[in-house]
Amino acid sequence: MGTLHRFTVKFGDRDIILETGKLAEQAGGAVTVRDGDTVVFATATMSKKARTGIDFFPLSVDFEEKMYAAGRIPGSFFRREGRPSEQAILSSRVVDRTLRPLFPDDLRNDVQIILSAFSHDQEHQIDMLGIIAASAALAISDAPWNGPVAGVRIGLINGELVVNPTISQMPKSALDLRLAGTAEAINMVECGAAEVDEEMMLKALNLAHALLQPVIATINEMRAAVGKVKSGYVPASTKANVSAAVEAKSGARIRQIIAEQTERSGRNEALDVLKSELVGFLVEQNESLTDPEEQIEIGDASDAFGEIVAKEARRRIVDEGIRPDGRGLTDIRPLAAEVGVVPRVHGSGLFKRGQTQVLTIATLGTPGDAQEIDTLSPEKPKRYMHHYNFPPYSTGEASPLRGPKRREIGHGALAETALRYILPSETDFPYTIRLVSEVLSSNGSTSMASVCGSTLALMDAGVPIPRPVGGIAMGLIQENGKTAVLTDIQGLEDHIGDMDFKVAGTSKGITALQMDIKINGVSGEIMEKALAQAREARLKIIDVIMGALPASRAELSTSAPRILTIKVNPAKIGAIIGPGGKTVRGIQERTGAKIDIEEDGTVYVSSIDGGAVLAAEEIRGLTEDAEIGKIYTGKVTRIESFGAFVEFLPGKDGMVHISQLADYRVESVESEVSLGDEIMVMVTNIDDGGKVRLSRQAVLEGWTPEEARARDSRGSSSGGNRSGGGNRSGGGGGYNRGGNSGGGGNSGGDGGNYNRS
């Protein structure tokens, strides 16, 4: 075993412990971070040689969820971890987005960060610990990196900001802000919020950044004590003669195209033609040169060409306030919104912003359609999902279709977060909700277009949301000491810019934030300016959404299921399910309804047609207790000389004494009723043993519950001796009154019928 080095730091109101030196001695850097009994292990390793032929930095970050950390065995067939969960992918992206901006731009060596949760106490969250662990591992490794960084979570409970809220505290929090940064600036933000206003959000951002300082100082202390010497590397830089040659041949024409071509397709086509001319020229020039040192690599020339395009576009933005498509810094591209664009589906919304177009479809399902989540953290079934698809045709390309990539999962999760806080509660709207956003055309900010499309689809589906949610992507250009904050960035601005800051929210406040940067960090002042511009733009977008549909529809789609909610005694759940599920399956087969049962006794019965009503009546019958004075329709199951036995609830019967079979004197039971007859009866008595006495006479004469209790006496008041008993004309009126009393019975446990139609 190596020598253990331990460092403790105060983080909010708790101490966290960083350790290194004992584990994974051959990794470039290896660190464990502990908060409570949650332990995250991180390694950082860089390859010895650079990769050739690539124009990007090959960083990989993987967050592994090991079920042993929570004392569980994986539920898969092979009982081992498979592909990463969505939560693991999102945690990996958060760490990646934090670390990546701080690596040298010209590094081409592979750098791999692997994070594993060794232990999870179900209270202290692992994602921000992962950032701290990865930062410390990189800091003490030999990989060149301009860190360290740290991450923190901020909640908002009862109006107070809470540092690193625990898992059990989060359901009460109106804010889930995750922020990372260096000692000087913020470089990553991920946030969900319940319409938190800009003032409170800025307060949370500033608090979060201040809290990072002691952790960063501790990592620096660790690096000074045990850190390795940083490795040298071969930088991937364009030779000066290549940049000069490209500038001389194409620079003036590039600047002309940027100035004149404001449409993306026209600009890209003109630049592609110019690049092809440049390549042809260089190929001919290289053939005429005998000295390899004088020849220019086509890949290097292509890189230099792109750098000139970016430099000119950035210059025009900061010097002239003119963007590639001719807009000013705060202008929004043309907007359009439409609902009901697809028939049969439960809800649909089409949103267009410039050349970005997204179609979102809403589907309403039953509670049983909720997604079961199997992660380290304790999770309830997920009743709201948003899935984002980015097909190749959206950018005019042709490529094989594969499963969702990390980017698609991340964008889907962001749009999901933006709407989560404004959805109705499960009690008020017990449906499972799935949104699918199809990116039909992309020129930047598709995730925020998905937010707008999702709002439209939800409202079209009749989901009762209080206010529409709109989303906007903000950008940043810092060049030659000048700063420009851009509203509604398009594809080229995202590519050449320094920041992609996505802001979603309602007219009341923010519901989601996500910030990625390509520089070391941004100041609080820049974030304040970006949030102010974003609010102004968001309100304009919401106006367009409300122009398409001012509020959620009052009725659900005719193709959506209707759900009845019944509340039963949890002890009666077994009666509904039956042996081996036989009873509940039978009800579903007979009625065509779907039945979902919760442990607390909540039963959801759903169907497209009236099957839910029939199933609900059967369930009430199975779980209802007999009630004195209540009228039921029952079936005669047995006949004796002294009376008839009637099954008035499933599995429950009672006896109707011969004197109670009619409102006149009955000579024999067989003369009045036969086996299998359905008659209406009132419960008049339930003895201590649970035996039930019933009366048909009470129904025919219209007794009140009080009369039933007062007049109940076995064998008393035979019909022929009562005044008028034998002379009543058939008793039809009393029978009809009984029929209007709700024959099947209702225990009063109906928790509501959510139909909205």
Alpha carbon 605 to chain centroid distance? 25
Return the pLDDT at 621.
Answer: 78
pLDDT of residue 710 exceeding 70, the answer is yes
Residues of the chain with CATH 3.30.230.70: 5-226, 335-548
pLDDT of residue 225 exceeding 80, the answer is yes
Ranking 28-42, 313-327, 706-720, 724-738 by mean pLDDT, the lowest is: 724-738
Return the pLDDT at 11.
Answer: 95
* Tens digit of each residue's pLDDT (9 = 90 or more) over 462-478: 999 999 999 999 999 99
Element (H, E) at 496: helix 491-496
d(CA 264, CA 261): 8
Mean pLDDT, the chain, rounded, equals 90
Average pLDDT over residues 156-160: 97
pLDDT of residue 575 exceeding 70, the answer is yes
Return the pLDDT at 713.
Answer: 54
Please give the residue that has the higher pLDDT: either 644 or 728: 644
Residues of the chain with CATH 1.10.10: 240-320
CATH number of 335-548: 3.30.230.70
- Contact in structure between 123 and 166 (CB atoms under 8 Å): yes
Please give the residue that has the higher pLDDT: either 560 or 708: 560
Return the pLDDT at 180.
Answer: 98
| Tokens standing for residue 287 | 């053939």
| Tokens standing for residue 589 | 């087969």
Return the pLDDT at 54.
Answer: 87
Provide the sign of the torsion angle of the four alpha carbons 540, 543, 545, 547, taken in this order: negative
Burial category of 39 from C-beta neighbours within 10 Å (exposed 0-12, middle 13-18, buried 19 and up): buried
Residue range 240-320 forms a domain whose CATH class is mainly alpha
pLDDT of residue 719 exceeding 80, the answer is no
- Contact in structure between 128 and 152 (CB atoms under 8 Å): yes
Return the pLDDT at 745.
Answer: 40
Please give the residue that has the higher pLDDT: either 200 or 244: 200
Query: Can you give the C-alpha Rg of the chain in angstroms?
Result: 35
pLDDT interval class at 253 (50, 70, 90): very high
Return the pLDDT at 539.
Answer: 98
Please give the residue that has the higher pLDDT: either 705 or 120: 120
DSSP state of 150: E
User: Domain 5-226, what architecture?
Assistant: 2-Layer Sandwich (3.30)
pLDDT of residue 728 exceeding 60, the answer is no
pLDDT interval class at 751 (50, 70, 90): very low
- Integer distance in angstroms from the first to the last C-alpha of the chain? 70
* Tens digit of each residue's pLDDT (9 = 90 or more) over 5-21: 999 999 999 999 999 99
pLDDT of residue 717 exceeding 60, the answer is no
Average pLDDT over residues 224-247: 87
pLDDT above 90 as % of the chain: 72
Residue range 631-739 forms a domain whose CATH class is mainly beta
Ranking 402-406, 533-537, 582-586, 719-723 by mean pLDDT, the lowest is: 719-723
Return the pLDDT at 591.
Answer: 87
Return the pLDDT at 238.
Answer: 64
Q: Please tell me which of 67-76, 411-420, 601-610 the model is most confident about, judged by mean pLDDT.
A: 411-420
pLDDT of residue 113 exceeding 70, the answer is yes
CATH number of 562-623: 3.30.1370.10
Residues of the chain with CATH 3.30.1370.10: 562-623
* Residue-wise burial string across 244-273, b where 16 or more C-beta atoms lie within 10 A, e elsewhere: ebbbebbbeebbebbeebeebeebeebbee
